[in-house]
Amino acid sequence: MRLLIAAPFLLLLVLFALSNTAPVHLTLWPTDFALEMPLSLAILAAMAIAFLLGGAVVWVNELGQRRRARRAEEAVRLLEAQVQDLKARLPMTASLHQAAE
């Protein structure tokens, strides 16, 4: 299933890269850093960087949710242990009430 989705996407990427081979001169303004590369490589690199930065933002935002989920799971485990303890005491309490009557 993944191959059916990935194959057309990869074919489009290859066609894009082969169609846009004109060299582009890229510079970083406050510095003298300059780079010349094919247009397709510049665009694909920018897309990859944006994808990774977006993933990092989502990952950082989910850290708080994961922490809350872990705390909730721990609370559920403690409450389940208390319920089991109370269920274990229930027959003893019932037998004590019957003996007192």
Q: Report the pLDDT value the prediction gives residue 65, as an integer from 0 to 100.
A: 93
Helices (H), 1-101: 2-19, 39-100
When comparing pLDDT for 97 and 26, which is higher?
A: 26
CB 24 within 8 A of CB 39: yes
Q: Report the pLDDT value the prediction gives residue 70, as an integer from 0 to 100.
A: 96
Q: Report the pLDDT value the prediction gives residue 52, as an integer from 0 to 100.
A: 97
pLDDT at 97 exceeding the cut of 80: no
- The residues spanned by each domain of the chain are 2-100
pLDDT at 76 exceeding the cut of 70: yes
What band does 2 get if pLDDT is binned at 50, 70 and 90? Answer: confident
CA distances from 24 to 12, 38, 51, 98 (A): 21, 6, 22, 91
